[in-house]
Structure 1
Amino acid sequence: MSNSSFFAGASGDFHTFQFRAMNTRIDMAFYCKSEQAARLEETAAHWFQNTEERFSRFREQSELSHLNRLAGERCMVSDAMMEVLRLADAYRELTGGAFDPLILNALHAAGYSESFELLKQHPDLAAAEPAKSVQGSTASMQLNPVMKSVQLPAQSGLDLGGIVKSWAVRRLAEHLRKELFIERGFVNAGGDLAAWGPRDEVADPWRIGIEHPWDTDADAGIIALVSGAAATSSKLGRKWAAAAGPMHHLIDPRTMRPSDSDVAQCTVTGKDVVACEVWAKAICILGLDDGLELFARKAEDCEALVFTQDRQSHLFASPESIGTRWQGVRYDHFREPARA
C-alpha cells in the first residue's frame, strides 16, 4: 500500500508518526489526547523492535534462528512464537500449501541469505553463487501447543517474515483499540495495514493509496475503510540478480523456486490483516486463475485487485464495493465472487 495516501476526518487530536522496523517503514495515525501520543509512539516502536528481535531470520540470537538451528529436534518456544507458528500452520492447510513457512532453504538457494537492505547495497552477495536446487517436502511442523513445543522437519528452516509483520500489525492494533481505548487508528507496516473506527456512528473512512506496480509516482486507486485491513504482495519490489537469472522473494512451495506465475502484484482487503497478507501472497504464487479460484472458496469477506505480468488489472469484488471500498480503481477485468 502507498504510505502517503491515507486520511480520515474526525473530531479530536490527530497524531501521525513514522519509523523503520523489520526492514520496512511503519506508518501510524490515530486520534487521542495529546498527552497520550508520545507514550503510544514509544509503545509501537518497542513492539515492532521486540518482534523483529524475536522473529528475524537475519539475527543470530533471535528465537527463530535458534529454532532453525535445531531443526529435527523438539524445542520449547515462547507464547508469541507458538501463536505465530499455529497461524502459519493453519494457513498452510487452508491454502493447500501455497503458503508455507518452511522455505528458508529455497530463499538461501535463490540468493536471499542476507537482509534485503544489504542485498540492495551489495548485490554481489546474491549473484556470487548460482542458485541451487532445493527439494520441497511434504513434511510439516509438529506443534504441541500444550507443551509449547515444536519440531521442524530435519534439514528444514522457517521464514516467517510476511506473516509476522501482519501479525504484529494485528496485535498492536488490538492492543491500542481494546486495552488503551484508542477509538480510531491506523497501522501500516510496509503495506500490511489495519484500520479501525468507532462502531456507534457513521465515520469518514480511512483512504489508503494502492501502490501502482509500474509507476512509483502514482497510486492505482484508493481503498476506503472505516474498519478493516488490507495487504499487498508483489514480485516487483524485493527482487535481485543472481547467477541463474532474476530472482524475487515469493517462493512457490511446489517448486521451491521464485514463483513464475502470471501475477505481478496483488492487493487483498478484508477484516483481518493476517488473512489479507497470506491471500495476497498465495494469489501471486498460484497465478490469476488458480489463485482466485481458491480465494473464492476459502477467503471469507475478502476482495482482491490483481495485476498480471501483461499489465492487465483484475478486480475481484462485489459490485457494491466499486466506488465505496474501491475508489478510483481502473481495472481491465471484473469478476464477481460466486461464493456459497
Structure 2
Amino acid sequence: MRLTVEDPAVLGAACGELKGLMDRVDKAASRFRVDSELSVVNRRAGALVPVSRLLVDLVDVSLVAARVSGGAVDPTVGPAVIAAGYDVDIEAVRRRFPPPLHEPQPPLEASGAPGEQMVGGTHPQSAELGGAHRQAVVGGVRGGSPGVGGVAGWREVRLNRKLALLGVPKGCALDLGATAKAWTADRAANLLSKRYGCAVLVEIGGDLRAAGAPKEPWVVTVAERSGGPGVLVTLTHGGLATSTRTVRRWRTADGYAHHVIDPRTGRPAEGAYRTASVWAPTAVRANTFSTALVATSDAALGRLKLASHPARLIGADGEVTELSGWPAASRAA
C-alpha cells in the first residue's frame, strides 16, 4: 500500500487513519484469518449469518461489480482460487513448487503505484504501509471446489442489507479480492482528503484513487510489475486500476497458475489480455473493468467500450492496445 498527501504535515495522522481502516477491513473480509467475518460466513454456508455494516458494504460493492461486468467479476470464485493453489499467503504458495534454478523467478509484486510526483515544484509526502496489512482485503476460506464448468455464481449470494444478514449456498465461498481493496482505496482517499483539506492518493495493490484538488496533476507510472517498463500518465481525480495475470502467480504440478479466475471455467484466465489498466471515476469501477478484461478478455471489451473508460490493454504477445482516450505515446510492453 502507498499513501501520498500533498501536505507533508498531515502524513503521520493520515497513515494512522488508513491503517485503522485497513484493520477494520481485515477483520471483516480477510480470507487469511479464520476469525474474520467472511470466513465465518463461508464456514456456515447454507445459513444466513449476522454481519457488520462494513461487510454488508463490501459484499454489496462486489455484487454491483458482478452485475456491471456481466458476471466476469464474480465474488463466488473463492473455491476456484483455492483449487488453483492460492490458499495461504502468496510467498508460502510459491515455496511449494519452487522454479528450477535455470528458470527466472516470476515477478513478486504488482505495480500501478504512483511514480515520481511533482506538486508545486516539490515532492509530496508519501509512505508505504506493509506488514500484516498486505493481504488484508480478500475473502474466502480453505475447502470447497468450483461448480462444474464454472463457479457457483454471484446471483446465489443472499444479502439482506436492512437486517445485515449474509449467506452463501453450500459448497460456495466468497472472495472479495477483486473489489474490497479498491473500495478501501476509494473510502480512504475521500475521507482523508476531506478531513485534512488536501489532495490525496491511496494505492493498494494496483488500485489507486485520487481525491481532492491537487495544485498540479499527479504523475503516475502504469506498469505490469514494479520496476518494469511502464508509461507515465497525469491524474487529477478518479480511480486507476491495473490487473494482470503476470505477477501474482505460482508453479503447480501442472504448470503455472495465477489468481485471476475466469468464472465461466472456474480456472485461471487464459484469454487474449494478460494485463489491463483502466481509468474510471472510482477505483472500484476501474478495478471492475480491469479485472473483467483479464478474466474474460473480449467478452468484457464491449462493456468497456460502452462505458467509455480509457484503457490500456496488453495482449498475451505483448501487443499494446489503447482505447477511449487513453493518453497517446505509450511504449510497447
Structure 1 position 306 matched with structure 2 position 313 = yes
Q: Residue 273 of structure 1 corresponds to which residue in structure 2?
A: 283
Amino acid at match of 1:296: K
Answer yes or no: is the 8 Å Cα contact 1:31–1:182 preserved in 2.
no
Matched, 1:55 2:71: no
Amino acid of the structure 1 residue aligned with 2:2: D
Tell me the amino acid that sits aligned with residue 31 of structure 1: E
Q: CA RMSD in A?
A: 2.1
Determine whether 1:231 maps to 2:241.
yes
Aligned to 1:108: 82
1:211 to 211, 220, 223: 223
Cα deviation per residue 1:247-291 (whole Å; 9 max; x = unaligned)?
11111111101111011100011210001111100000111x332
TM-fit CA distance, 1:133 = 6.7
**Deviation string for 1:7-37 (max 9, x for gaps)?**
xxxxxxxxxxxxxxxxxxx111112362x33
CA displacement 1:216-269 (0-9 Å, x = unmatched): 534321121111210100001111111232211111111101111011100011
Q: Deviations over 1:51-92 (max 9, x none)?
A: 223211010111111111011101111101001111111121
CA distance in 1, matches of 2:78, 2:299: 24
Which residue is 1:291 aligned to?
300
**Rounded Cα–Cα distance in structure 2 between residues aligned with 1:198 and 1:93:** 31
Shift of the 174–133 alpha-carbon distance from structure 1 to 2, 3 Å rule, reads closer
Identify unmatched segments of 5+ residues in structure 1: 1-25, 125-131, 333-340
Q: How many residues in Structure 1 have an aligned counterpart in Structure 2?
A: 285
Shift of the alpha carbon at 1:146? 0.9
Q: 1:92-241 residue pairs with structure 2 within 5 A?
A: 92-123=66-97, 134-135=147-148, 136-138=151-153, 139-178=155-194, 180-198=195-213, 203-212=215-224, 217-241=227-251
Q: CA deviation at 1:119?
A: 1.5
Are 2:322 and 1:315 aligned?
yes
Query: Which string of whole-angstrom CA distances, capped at 9 and with x for unpartnered residues, describes residues 115-142 of structure 1?
Result: 2132234447xxxxxxx77423345211
More strand, by proportion: 1
Q: 1:131-175 deviations in whole A, cap 9, x for unaligned? A: x77423345211111111122122100111231111111111111
Structure 1 contact 209–219 (Cα < 8 Å) conserved: no
- Taking structure 1 as reference, are residues 89 and 212 closer, same or farther at Cα in structure 2, changes over 3 Å only? closer
The one-letter code of the counterpart of 1:105 is: P
Structure 1 residue 308: Cα displacement = 0.5
Aligned to 2:120: none
Q: Distance in 2 between matches of 1:83 and 1:174?
A: 16
Is the Cα contact below 8 Å between 2:202 and 2:208 reproduced in 1? Answer: yes
Which ranges of 4 or more aligned residues in structure 1 deviate by more than 6 Å? none
Assess if the C-alpha contact under 8 Å between 2:146 and 2:152 holds in 1: no
Determine which of 24, 27, 42 is the counterpart of 1:68. 42
Which whole-Å CA distance do the structure 1 matches of 2:224 and 2:243 have between them? 12
Q: Hey, what does 2:330 align to over in structure 1?
A: 329
Give the superposition deviation at 1:48: 1.5
Q: Is the CA contact 2:79–2:146 (under 8 Å) kept in the aligned structure 1?
A: no
**Partner Cα distance (1:50, 1:305) in 2:** 33
Whether the 8 Å contact between 1:315 and 1:331 is mirrored in structure 2 is no
How far 1:183 moved relative to its partner?
A: 2.1
In the other structure, the counterpart of 1:243 is 253
Would you say the 8 A contact 1:235–1:264 is kept in 2? yes
Name the TM-score, length of structure 2 as normaliser.
0.80
On the 8 A contact 2:224/2:244 being kept in 1, the answer is: no
- Counterpart CA distance in 2 for 1:72 and 1:49 is 28
SS of aligned partner of 1:255: coil
The SS at the match of 2:3 is strand
